[in-house]
Structure 1
Amino acid sequence: MKNNKISKLTCMMLMVSMSAIAFCIIKSIPLFYGFFVGLVFSVILLRMDGFSFYCLMDMIWKGIKDCSTVYVIVLLMGGMISIWIASGVVPTMIYYGFEYMGHINYVLACFFITAVISFVMGTAFGTISTIGVALLGIGKGLLIPTPLLLGTIISGAFIADKLSPISALVNLTIQITEVKYKAFFRHTLVTLIPAVVLSGIIYYILGRNYAAEIDLVTLNTYQRNISQTFFLLPILLAFPIVMVVLAIFGIKIIPNMTFGLVSGMGICYFLQQMQIKEILGVLLLGYKSNTGINQLDSVLRGGGMIPMLEVILIIIGAIALNSVLEGTKTIHPIVDCMVSKIKTKGRLITTTGILSIVLTTVTCDQTVGILLPGKFLKSKYKELGIRKTTLARSIADTGTTIAPLIPWNVNAIIITAITGVGATEYGIYTVLCYLSPMITMLYGYIGLKENRNEKQENIGSC
């Protein structure tokens, strides 16, 4: 861009890109077409504005290459889900879950279980694709609507991206804002605790309604059909537990998921007596159960690496478009325009949240929603006497947390690929993800008391 004003070029790029994505969502067309249209249109306009074609392609290639681990994780997720069902790991969880979950508020339990595990694992994706899938399967068997249950699980899982000391996004946030993790953790609890309490109350009320409708006869029928279809052993419950323990001890998500996938394939062969050709078919194409009960079969199906290829194309499209917007500084004038005239603390915090949400929405990823506000607003926070931990917390509570609610965001795309449920369905139940932005902005106006002379908080982590 030639100046700091929001040019017609910027507006056209964003408008065409968002319109193409929205059209794909409305018409149920694969999203990667929308990203491709937005990318091609943006490249053409930027070439007309003076950027070299080589430079633009280099931005795109670097962005795609830097996110190569994401593609591996998506493929592993697809394979692990189908293998864990076929091996009997997920059916065993569901079978024994029916024994113990029929007499509790299952929705509330899911929220707190995923919140604790996600904080330990440090990844929302890892939580949703492992324990989340199992909890979702049990909940379906308990006749709880899938969008409600998935929204509950996502609410708990995204505490990882907000607060976990081993989360990549948390560490990016504290590094870019130059604060220590201990100070960030303490400061974030101010808004997180009210959000968790309010979410818990809402989930208790929702869960109470469904707990009364559980049909124990139906659950017994489900258990009988599961035990007739799969060879079940309690020891199979150890595999997801081991994966959580490995995450606690710092094992990264790819080796951890590979362990889960390979172990599951071994169980398929030795315990479920599946042939190697059959196992490979499940790994690549997904699993379809045949228990004799349609509702149960709808739970015990899905996954596969090949169905995840479309998801990878969508992620590549989102990353490519994001790389062009960030590399050419197309969205920087938006930041300047939003913060240049701010004079009050409350308005600055509110603007930080809105800016982080806008950037996460426009760029289809949380990273820019962290980087740009973190870089450009530090001086403004210092000018108004607000400590940097408030900046870090405001970003974590807004742009980071809102991601799964945006249908074209990479987070929502992967969640939909894993579960088959879209953001427009589960979004209303993802309570924590929209309560957090509301609470932090409200706190900025009515609860902010900052001391300009407090000691500086330097870069650090846990």
Structure 2
Amino acid sequence: MAGTAPEGNAHGGEPNDAAGRSDGGAGGSDGDSGRGSRRRRPVKPPSLTDALLPIVLLAVLIAGSLLVFGLGALNGPIQVALMACALVAALIAVKNGHPWARVQTAGQGALSSLSSAIFILLTVGALIGTWNLSGTIPTMVYYGIQLLSPSWYYAACALICGIIALSIGSSWTTAATIGVGMIGIAGMLGVSPAITAGAVISGAYLGDKLSPLSETSVLSAQMVKVDIYRHIRAQAWTSIPAFLIAFVVLLVIGLNSGTAAHPPLPETVELHSLSSIFWITPLNLLPLVLLIVLSILRVPAVVSLASPALFAGVLGAFLQPSVMADFVSGNGENPVVGSIKGVWLAMAGGFQIDTPYAEINGLLSRGGMSSMLLTIWLIIGAVTFGALLEEFGLIARLIDPLIRAAKSRGALYVTVFGFAFGLNVVAGDQYIALVLPARVFRLEFARRGLAPTNLSRLVADSGTVTSALVPWNSCGAYMSAVLGVSTLLYLPFAIFNYASPLLSILYGITGFKIEKSTPADEPVAAE
């Protein structure tokens, strides 16, 4: 693996091509032709200050953006911070003797690695838009909410949020819609809002991790070059047991707190009004069935997501004609033309609905390719920053001593977890906590004969779910803001969010469900 490029340079080697040309220049041929002044400067290894400067600057800028803009920092300021830090990393590389052309090549390589992820994310946005328009998501929410029972309220919250997050692929939207409703109902029942918030977050992150519609799942798989469904199958071995642990603990807490003594939930829960807006029928779930079938058949992710998106739009034209007409303001318009416009608009800009019920509006007014642009911007910044740190040895300068010290597989797993969680604490963003560990450790996992799915699962367990446990992390701040419960109050009850990484580390130590690499996995190491 030492001869591979470019990643091999990040682990202690000078760039072979650059060194060769530099040596050639030193031989005197350029000087004899009168162009000796144009010889490339020798490349220096990064110093500890070089390695620390971009990381410290990123922590300062992200903390400053969260302080100044609050949750609005995700709408651009954090992306600007990432771009600024990427520029600083590039200038450090130039200072150390790397030509600017090589910096550009490293950045271009980072962007080219994202092409598949970007198309998948855009397709996910389109699918969410048409599934809202067609009544697919409203039907799943309507049936899911029927599972509520005061006798096991906390466990029910986790289960319902898990089902909905799995169907829509977003922990944030689940928490901000169903989660907010659960907190409100908790107040009516007299049960603990803090425990309810922990249950909501546990369920929301379960669905987020196992959904092919989740951008973090897509990113985790793409960063180590594995198929999204292969990643999800590996992820299930930690996510499902972790959720079962959370479910049982929440059920015991609920039964012991006497929730069964409370009266039944009121019949007027706002989400039940979905049936007055959409025609709720099992037929609306056919796009979900198609997605499951295509996933089982291992159809490429873009195709398996685009097909149910288009199918849902066509189905919605027949099953939800009034919703379609209201969406396109198509009074008197040809129904066929109006339906085409509706599906087109839902795929491009998402579905919008205005009802007297704020929670319904918040749940369904979303989706579209445009809704993914901020996330794509954030990912581009994080991946470019991570690629520059890796390519020019800045991260290796900090991490290589830790990797060398991690002699056993269990120690390596603990190191990856510490790095990912530390980035959640220092950098305050889950995307950075996903991207950097995946890029930094993928060669080491390949060198030790560990399949890339092991790393994709570990970084998701370590980077995604723990982000909601850090109060100043964008995820922790968001969850606290929308649920109205302090991060430190719900933290003990977000059981899934620490059971999942603990199980992942335990698997690494014991060897349970650890996949060995195959020849098909080799391109990950030699990319």
TM-score by length of 1: 0.70
Q: How does 1:301-316 map to 2 (within 5 A)?
A: 301-316=365-380
Cα gap change, 1:437 to 1:397, in 2 (>3 Å): farther
Instruction: State the partner residue of 1:434.
Output: 498
Q: Helix, strand or coil for the counterpart of 1:287?
A: coil
Cα gap change, 1:154 to 1:45, in 2 (>3 Å): same
Q: CA–CA distance in 2 between the matches of 1:310 and 1:303?
A: 13
Instruction: List per-residue Cα deviations over 1:285-333 (Å, max 9, x = no partner).
Output: 3333233223333333222322322221111111111111122122112
| Mapped contact 1:355–1:369 kept (Cα < 8 A) | yes
Which runs of 5 or more residues in structure 2 are unaligned? 1-13, 15-42, 187-195, 331-337, 522-527
Q: CA–CA distance in 2 between the matches of 1:238 and 1:92?
A: 11
Instruction: Choose from 83, 107, 111 the match for 1:60.
Output: 107
| Mapped contact 2:199–2:250 kept (Cα < 8 A) | no
Which runs of 5 or more residues in structure 1 are unaligned? 119-124, 176-180, 382-387, 451-455
Instruction: State the partner residue of 2:4.
Output: none
Instruction: Choose from 89, 93, 98 the match for 1:42.
Output: 89
Instruction: State the partner residue of 1:248.
Output: 296
Aligned residue-pair number: 420
State the shift of 1:46 in Å. 1.7
Instruction: List per-residue Cα deviations over 1:48-102 (Å, max 9, x = no partner).
Output: 2211111111111111122112222222222222221222112222233344545
Of 135-144 and 147-156, deviating more is: 135-144
Instruction: List per-residue Cα deviations over 1:328-357 (Å, max 9, x = no partner).
Output: 122112222224456788756533542465
Letter in 1 for 2:265: D
Cα gap change, 1:141 to 1:348, in 2 (>3 Å): closer
Cα gap change, 1:414 to 1:271, in 2 (>3 Å): farther
Instruction: State the partner residue of 1:230.
Output: 278
Instruction: Choose from 183, 200, 203 the match for 2:247.
Output: 200
Letter in 2 for 1:249: L
Q: CA–CA distance in 1 between the matches of 2:158 and 2:280?
A: 27
Cα gap change, 1:19 to 1:228, in 2 (>3 Å): same
Of 284-293 and 357-366, deviating more is: 357-366
Letter in 2 for 1:12: L
Residues 1:261 and 2:301 are matched in the alignment: no
| Mapped contact 1:111–1:156 kept (Cα < 8 A) | no
Q: CA–CA distance in 1 between the matches of 2:295 and 2:157?
A: 19
Q: How does 1:145-160 map to 2 (within 5 A)?
A: 148-155=199-206, 157-158=208-209
Cα gap change, 1:314 to 1:337, in 2 (>3 Å): same
Q: CA–CA distance in 2 between the matches of 1:147 and 1:297?
A: 24
Q: CA–CA distance in 1 between the matches of 2:359 and 2:225?
A: 45
Instruction: State the partner residue of 1:83.
Output: 130
Q: CA–CA distance in 1 between the matches of 2:271 and 2:100?
A: 59
| Mapped contact 2:125–2:369 kept (Cα < 8 A) | yes
Letter in 1 for 2:248: I
Instruction: Choose from 190, 200, 218 the match for 2:268.
Output: 218
Residues 1:25 and 2:66 are matched in the alignment: yes
Instruction: State the partner residue of 1:453.
Output: none
Q: How does 1:107-118 map to 2 (within 5 A)?
A: 108=155
Of 334-343 and 42-51, deviating more is: 334-343
Cα gap change, 1:172 to 1:75, in 2 (>3 Å): closer
Residues 1:15 and 2:75 are matched in the alignment: no
| Mapped contact 2:139–2:284 kept (Cα < 8 A) | yes
Q: CA–CA distance in 1 between the matches of 2:160 and 2:146?
A: 17
Q: How does 1:21-420 map to 2 (within 5 A)?
A: 21-28=62-69, 29=73, 30=76, 31-102=78-149, 105=152, 108=155, 128-129=168-169, 143=185, 148-155=199-206, 157-158=208-209, 195-205=242-252, 215-219=265-269, 222-223=271-272, 225-273=273-321, 274=325, 275=330, 276=338, 277-340=341-404, 350-355=414-419, 357-358=421-422, 364=432, 366=434, 368-370=436-438, 372-373=440-441, 375-376=443-444, 395=455, 398-404=458-464, 405-406=466-467
| Mapped contact 1:356–1:370 kept (Cα < 8 A) | no
Q: CA–CA distance in 2 between the matches of 1:67 and 1:336?
A: 26
Q: Helix, strand or coil for the counterpart of 2:98?
A: coil
The two structures, once aligned, show a CA RMSD in angstroms of 5.0
Q: CA–CA distance in 2 between the matches of 1:97 and 1:35?
A: 39
Q: CA–CA distance in 2 between the matches of 1:306 and 1:9?
A: 37
| Mapped contact 2:420–2:459 kept (Cα < 8 A) | yes
Of 289-298 and 313-322, deviating more is: 289-298
Letter in 2 for 1:255: V
Cα gap change, 1:278 to 1:65, in 2 (>3 Å): same
Q: CA–CA distance in 2 between the matches of 1:26 and 1:195?
A: 33
Instruction: List per-residue Cα deviations over 1:119-156 (Å, max 9, x = no partner).
Output: xxxxxx97652899789966666647677424423135
Q: Helix, strand or coil for the counterpart of 2:299?
A: coil
| Mapped contact 1:285–1:303 kept (Cα < 8 A) | yes
| Mapped contact 1:85–1:300 kept (Cα < 8 A) | yes
Q: CA–CA distance in 1 between the matches of 2:346 and 2:218?
A: 31
Q: CA–CA distance in 2 between the matches of 1:303 and 1:193?
A: 27
Of 86-95 and 210-219, deviating more is: 210-219
State the shift of 1:250 in Å. 0.9
| Mapped contact 2:139–2:282 kept (Cα < 8 A) | yes
Instruction: State the partner residue of 1:385.
Output: none
Q: Percent identity?
A: 18
Of 101-110 and 432-441, deviating more is: 101-110
Q: CA–CA distance in 2 between the matches of 1:109 and 1:460?
A: 44
